[in-house]
Structure 1
Amino acid sequence: MSTPAARRPTLKDVARHAGVAPMTVSYAFTRPDRVADATRVRVLAAAAELGYRPSSTARALRSGRAQQLGVVVGEHLSYLFDDPQAARFLAGVTDVCVEEDLGVVLIPTRGDASDVDRVLSAAVDGYVLWTTAADDPVLAAVAGSGRPAAIQGGPAHPGLVRIGPDDRAAAAAVGTAAIRAASPGAPVVVVSFPLDRRRTGGVLRGRDLPADLTDPAAVPFPVTGARLAGYRDALTAAGHDWDDVRVAVVERNQRARGAEAAAALLEPLGPGPAVLLAMSDELALGARTATDRAVREATLAGWDGSREAAGAGIWSVAAPLREQGRACARAALAAGPGEDAVPWSVVPPVAVG
């Protein structure tokens, strides 16, 4: 025959044991400045003797603080751990949470009607949003929640602090560097992130893309639009006709996708050197695998400034995502300015070939 579990001690039990009022016990844990030192010592000793622990839920209700930061992810949660740069960003967020003694709540979104309720019902004090699309209803919901929030990369939205580099300027700079490092007259192709939340892939020409790549109504993913605009700036300045440039849009930021895209883009060009501008080091490293297999000369550019990319002969952009994660977390703990620019730099390869 089983025996009933021991009753959990309550705040009133502690008050009775310490010989004080229940409110004094509450203050001893939540507002110690309002309790005499000797009384607080007596209350804590009574709590320890009885095995009493204050309820975190009740404490949150009393203080109006959940002591947790929400990270809203517009991807499968596994993406945060599988993608090296996403993992670095999350590490930056958790750095600040450890410093501030906060928990982290990961909140996935799926692009459906349940997203807003899922995000707003989370018991968090503020939000950090991973880059999403301009038409994502979660943006307005978070901005109107009354809780501070920051978004990495964008889109910019009233009520949210945007943390990120000048993607267009950085893409133009790394694109220019790669084109200049290549053989004169080498054709240039681009491997792009998705344009919108439908994540439709395929090979396009520059003429098939919107004229205003930074218009959120035309390219809802702001990072994609800004980097495409920057690559177009570099190509145009180098004398290439953007209308004829081949652009492969991939569904996911994965090396396998980069390899597939590189093969689809380069094969129709025939033999000879080429330049491939990718939107991440992961995609560029996948493209490097494809060019090595084909024994083809190619100058590659990526994004993220990783050592692996530099060692593989890939030009890149460094705008450390761990630092962006820290900046987003700090902004999400207290309302801040509308935008915080992140420094970036072009990283040349340390080995070529």
Structure 2
Amino acid sequence: MTTPARRRPTVKDVARQAGVAPMTVSYAFNQPARVAEATLTRVLEAAAELGYRPDRTARALRSGRAGQLGVVVGEHLSYLFDNPQAAQFLAGITDVCVSEDLGVVLIPTRGDAADVDRVLTAAVDGYVLWTTVTDDPVLAAVAGSGRPAAVQGGPAHPGLAVIGPDDRAAAAAVAAAAPLAAATPVIISFPLDRRRTSGVLRGHDLPADLTDPRAVPFPVTGARLAGYRDALTEAGHDWADVPVAVVARNQRDLGTDAAAALLATLEGTGPVVMLAMSDELALGARGAAAGARREVALTGWDGTREATTAGIWSVAAPLREQGRECARAALSRDTGSHLVPWSVVAPEVPRW
């Protein structure tokens, strides 16, 4: 015999149990400051006895607020958990959401026509967007939605806050910290375009204006390449001849493959400096460098302990704090651009 499902207690049940009006119960849960302390205690005790919980969906419909922040990512959702720095970024967002009693909705985009609808139909009060391309239609859609949003790393867009470090200055600084003058420089780069085309290029294959969004749609990639170029040119290297391996994603195994491809383009056995756009790529490159018959110095990005103990120069601009800043900006409807602090972290034991 099937046991009948227990009826869910209602506001009226709580009001009857506490001896108050249903409106008083509503105030107790939604505007407790309007209820006398003794009455509030009586209502909460009655609710606990009955097992009553407010219906958040109904509350959202009445208030026009979903009580959730959307996180828009142009990667496979597993990337947010598999990549250590992406996980830190998400953790920073959740830090703020927990303190503000908000939920988090993960919204993947795929670069297809359904992206805009997928983002705009999410039941959220605002958005945090992972770095995307300049011509991403989601940017304009979110800006026109009336809901606040912040973008980590850019691109800049009217009506949206942008949070991130000065990538160009930081890239120049970490490159200059490595022994550039005595070595051949090579670069392991993030994707240049939304197609994520990979391969080995030379400086002369890249756009002259690396910060032009029409030429390099990913602003972080363009700014870091420009910073590397600044440092290499200052050190006397010919940018046109610098090998650049472009990888499709920020994955350690792709760093290994890119480093091997770069080393294969070089002649002789002289020292090499590899400038990688993340610690994950640099740590992957270290595996290929270990088998090379030459000295290899490495730079990365993220300031992780694993990288610095492995002899890698890095840039520290903690993504957890950037996640917090993005969430705060979205919740406060801030539309400005904010540069976060960064620093070059020297390895504990330099490679050479």
TM-score bucket (shorter structure): over 0.9
> What is the identity, as a one-letter code, of the residue corresponding to 1:23?
M
2:323 to 322, 325, 342: 325
Mapped partners of 1:37, 1:310: distance in 2: 55
Mapped partners of 1:314, 1:47: distance in 2: 57
CA contact (8 A) 1:316 1:348 kept: yes
Question: Which sections of structure 1, spanning at least 5 residues, go unmatched?
Answer: none
Question: Which sections of structure 2, spanning at least 5 residues, go unmatched?
Answer: none
2:305 to 307, 318, 323: 307
Structure 1 counterpart of 2:99: 99
Structure 2 counterpart of 1:231: 228
Cα distance per residue 1:127-168 (max 9 Å; x no partner): 111111111111111112222211111111111111101001
> What is the identity, as a one-letter code, of the residue corresponding to 2:350?
V
CA contact (8 A) 1:182 1:299 kept: no
DSSP 3-state at the match of 2:229: helix
Structure 2 counterpart of 1:275: 273
> What is the identity, as a one-letter code, of the residue corresponding to 1:118?
R
Mapped partners of 1:142, 1:216: distance in 2: 19
> Cα distance 1:346–1:48, how it changes in 2: closer, same or farther (>3 A)?
closer
Q: Which moved more, 1:251-260 or 1:295-304?
A: 295-304
Mapped partners of 2:344, 2:334: distance in 1: 28
> Cα distance 1:45–1:316, how it changes in 2: closer, same or farther (>3 A)?
closer
Q: CA deviation at 1:18?
A: 3.9
| Structure 1 segments (4+ residues) deviating >6 Å | none
DSSP 3-state at the match of 1:106: strand
CA contact (8 A) 1:158 1:338 kept: no
Cα distance per residue 1:144-199 (max 9 Å; x no partner): 22222111111111111111010011111111221xx2562x22111100011111
Mapped partners of 2:76, 2:313: distance in 1: 29
Q: CA deviation at 1:106?
A: 1.3
- So what's the TM-score if we normalise by structure 1? 0.94
Find out whether 1:121 has 2:118 as its counterpart: no
CA contact (8 A) 2:175 2:228 kept: yes
- So what's the TM-score if we normalise by structure 2? 0.94
Find out whether 1:44 has 2:44 as its counterpart: yes
Cα root mean square deviation, aligned? 1.6
DSSP 3-state at the match of 1:122: coil
Mapped partners of 1:18, 1:99: distance in 2: 30
Find out whether 1:90 has 2:90 as its counterpart: yes
CA contact (8 A) 2:159 2:335 kept: no
Find out whether 1:250 has 2:247 as its counterpart: yes
> What is the identity, as a one-letter code, of the residue corresponding to 2:61?
L
> What is the identity, as a one-letter code, of the residue corresponding to 2:119?
V
Q: CA deviation at 1:66?
A: 2.1
Mapped partners of 1:182, 1:233: distance in 2: 12
Structure 1 counterpart of 2:341: 343
> What is the identity, as a one-letter code, of the residue corresponding to 2:208?
A
Mapped partners of 2:344, 2:161: distance in 1: 25
Identity of counterpart residues, as a percentage?
A: 78
| Number of residue-to-residue matches in the alignment | 350
Mapped partners of 1:309, 1:16: distance in 2: 63
